[in-house]
A and B are shown apart, each in its own frame.
Chain A
């Protein structure tokens, strides 16, 4: 029941796709984006990018196979909002072509629908695979993969500490805002009142962070952070064993799609 510290920092994943090495995931991501562009052909009488819509189904399959379907969909929320805005706005504002749908003042014309689908599904597919990458790869894994790929220790450190810093400062900002509210600064009311509350909430936040950074420099230097030597990492990046298979399959799909696009479509 009691795990050693070394065991606590390790990440073990059962799912083969979820536990892929970060480098393999990155290659899958790039190939998926390339395929999205390959599939940007317009079909049917309305010239819609139907293949890209189907390609989004593949993304959902990847989500499900990784065993993180719910988590990935949660991550997709912001993307869905943008997708909806693009589709609605473009299909309403782009004039031209035959009128497909009319309801009172709302008309959807051919060109509008085309542009909406072209832009919308491009954004949905490309952004979606990024969501998959980041929802299935923890910050620690990304940093370890960076270090493994020969990236400078300092860059890897900055990346991880940025993610921590955002959490930390987010918490601090709520504390500071509550403290300032207790001192009588109004955070509700008209625009001017709210705008005036912004400055006294932000400035103490930045100031504490900078004083903290000075102390952290001393702490890090004392632990030999800037020593020019090989460093040992407690966290070891694991492979799930499916790397080669996934690479071959995704490469085959890309090549097949490219061939189909060049010779048949």
Chain B
């Protein structure tokens, strides 16, 4: 069987186009739900991770991009972090396409890589625009470290990386939970869906 060359357009079928709004809404609603239940987590990238795993990097990236544009309408601070969410979608999608998310250990590794990379990408705006303190829950810890004389970079990165890794692992597990309950006949319609079929025959 000859392998057809993949084009980005192939990833955007009607179903994946409709998946993007869902992914964005899951990001927003997940974040709201987490704060409603007073959980000490953001859980606001579940949708990006989920679309990345199931529909590949480009759909994931668009979901991330749109999430920050839409949440930026009510809180323009998010505009400075558009690239972070895009990176989450892209990296997750590329690793999903390579088949990393079919396996527990590789999936965990992929999630860790993705969260470390995106945290590093979020550092420049945090440091240069917000001076290390953005007003999120963890920035209080960073603020204490800055006041204690540590550099802004180390204070932000050391706190944020640990926190983000935990956050993204939980998000990944939730995405996994959702994929478990989606019936096979729906799953196959997504670009990467056939990687996760329960009944492989």
Residues A158 and B25 in contact, CB atoms below 8 Å apart = no
Chain A contributes a number of interface residues (CB within 8 A of B) equal to 62
Q: Which of B74-82, B86-94, B114-122 interfaces with chain A?
A: B74-82
Chain B contributes a number of interface residues (CB within 8 A of A) equal to 52
Rounded to whole Å, the gap between the CB of B152 and the closest CB of chain A is 10
What chain B residues lie within 8 Å of A163 (beta carbons)? 70
Residue A12 at the B interface, CB < 8 A? no
Residues A221 and B14 in contact, CB atoms below 8 Å apart = yes
What chain A residues lie within 8 Å of B133 (beta carbons)? 85-86, 89-90, 93
Per-position binary interface string of chain B over residues 15-39, scored 1 when its CB falls under 8 Å from any chain A CB and 0 otherwise: 1011111101110111011100111
Contact partner of A217 (CB less than 8 A), chosen from B15, B34, B70, B76, is: B15
Per-position binary interface string of chain A over residues 151-190, scored 1 when its CB falls under 8 Å from any chain B CB and 0 otherwise: 0001001110111111011100100010000000001000
Residues A82 and B177 in contact, CB atoms below 8 Å apart = no
Contact partner of A194 (CB less than 8 A), chosen from B39, B74, B76, is: B39
Residues B17 and A82 in contact, CB atoms below 8 Å apart = no
Residue A126 at the B interface, CB < 8 A? yes
B: which residues have CB within 8 A of A? Answer: 12, 14-15, 17-22, 24-26, 28-30, 32-34, 37-40, 43, 46, 50, 62, 66, 70, 72-77, 79, 129-131, 133-135, 139, 143, 146-147, 174, 177-178, 181-182, 186, 189
9 shortest A-B CB distances, which residue pairs?
A: A85-B135, A127-B76, A165-B21, A130-B76, A78-B75, A93-B147, A89-B133, A162-B21, A213-B18
A-B contact pairs, 7 of them (CB 8 A): A134-B74, A154-B17, A166-B25, A166-B29, A169-B26, A210-B182, A213-B22
Q: Name 18 extra pairs, CB < 8 A, besides A89-B133, A205-B29, A225-B14.
A: A116-B131, A123-B129, A154-B17, A162-B20, A164-B21, A166-B24, A168-B25, A169-B28, A173-B29, A191-B40, A194-B38, A197-B37, A202-B26, A203-B174, A206-B50, A207-B178, A207-B181, A217-B15
A: which residues have CB within 8 A of B? Answer: 75, 78-79, 81-82, 85-86, 89-90, 92-94, 115-116, 119, 122-123, 126-128, 130-131, 134, 154, 157-159, 161-166, 168-170, 173, 177, 187, 191, 194-195, 197-199, 201-203, 205-207, 209-211, 213-214, 216-217, 220-221, 225-226
